[in-house]
Amino acid sequence: MSNKLDTGIKNARNVNRYIFGRGAIQQLASIVSSRRNSAKDQVVFLIDEFFKTFPEPLGGLPRQGDDLVIFVSTRDEPTTDFIDALTEEAVSKGGREACAIVGIGGGITLDTAKAVSNLLTNGGHAADYQGWDRVKVPGVFKIGIPTLSGTGAEATRTCVMTNQENGLKLGMNSDHTVFDQLILDPDLTATVPRNQYFFSGMDAWIHCVEALSGSFRNPVGDAFSTQAINLCRDVFGGDEMMSDESRAKLMVASYLGGCAIATSYVGVVHPFSAGLSVVLGFHHCVANCIAMMAMEPYYPREYREFVDFVEKNEVHIPKGVCIGLVESQFDALYQSTIIHEKPLVNALGVSFRDNLTETRVRELFEKM
Ligand SMILES: [Fe+2]
């Protein structure tokens, strides 16, 4: 911490309860039944569409009566319209009176569950709550069950979504967005494709690398980041990134990485990654990895470690993604990168624009 600012922590909110361990999903039934009472007993399940075809890992849902199961498309990252449409679907089937909402899936599904839960009790539209502390009352009791590790969505107080009308990519940053209950069951990540497993896992590692390299620091965020990085090293530098032990470790790293970004800030990678998502439509985790391949000037040691992870685990990072783009697309990439002031100040200081000129930013995108 020698030359770093100790930012302290502003009254952080954590997940209320969590269960961790292989087979933990079997406890969903008792948790759900403890929420039911005769007046309000409907449960809304929001589930990654992957499990529509492969439901076996979930071991059967504790469904009854008016319970609602909605499969969430993960083709695109959530938009405010998408959240509104799912909320309407839930409301049309009595969802406002639900006693619990259960999100089962990766970051997209977990964020969707958090957002729909808030909207069911607060009313209005998703766009009304984009920003900080705009959610007025607690949402429906939220249960999160990650089936992919790395984004930290299970731990954070936001749920990322894009408002396509104004291009704003911003979540409902609120204490009410935090899950009330998590079920962390590493058996649920056994069927994830290897590339996707790597990209998502790297999101946790990148969050923590960026946080530890920044200037807005505090000992709590540093502790979460350091331990998450250690776990990621075991997983991606070890013999088999998807062994039972590795999947358990990565699930914990993801949770700790989520706690880390809730108490500190990211750096240069995430703004560039956001540019790739907004302009070229790449999903967050693969976009991070694409961006990381051009980050040697900013994170030289971490860049080398990242390349080692990629080679050791034989994963494929898309390359040449900006070849053939036109001037207006490079301009859009620049604008959607440079807009992320807080992380860029964290990484490069208040005069970050002196370093990240339009020419420089374009050179970096051309390296990806
Ligand atoms: Fe991220």
Phi/psi of residue 345, nearest 5 degrees:
-65, -40
- Tell me what pLDDT residue 37 has: 81
CA of 204 to the centre of ligand 1 (A): 7
CA of 285 to the centre of ligand 1 (A): 7
Look at residues 342, 354, 356 and name the one whose alpha carbon lies nearest to residue 210: 342
Q: What is the pLDDT of residues 163-203, one digit of tens each?
A: 888 877 889 999 999 999 999 999 999 999 999 999 999 99
More confident residue, 1 or 10: 10
Q: What is the pLDDT of residues 118-160, one digit of tens each?
A: 999 999 999 999 999 999 999 999 999 999 999 999 999 999 9
DSSP summary character for residue 6: E
Q: How far apart are CA 163 and CA 16, in angstroms?
A: 29
Q: Token pair 């939220």 is at which residue? A: 142
Q: What is the pLDDT of residues 208-235, one digit of tens each?
A: 999 999 999 999 999 999 999 999 999 9
- Tell me what pLDDT residue 2 has: 43
Q: What is the pLDDT of residues 345-364, one digit of tens each?
A: 999 999 999 999 999 999 99
CA of 43 to the centre of ligand 1 (A): 29
Q: How far apart are CA 266 and CA 160, in angstroms?
A: 15
CA of 107 to the centre of ligand 1 (A): 10
Q: Are residues 163 and 127 in contact, defined by beta-carbon separation less than 8 angstroms? A: yes
Q: Taking 90 as the threshold, does the pLDDT of residue 5 lie above it? A: no
CA of 250 to the centre of ligand 1 (A): 15
Look at residues 327, 195, 199, 349 and name the one whose alpha carbon lies nearest to residue 268: 349
CA of 316 to the centre of ligand 1 (A): 19
Q: How far apart are CA 137 and CA 163, in angstroms?
A: 22
Phi/psi of residue 45, nearest 5 degrees:
-100, 125
Sheet holding 181-184, edge to edge: 17-20, 181-184, 142-146, 100-105, 43-48, 68-72
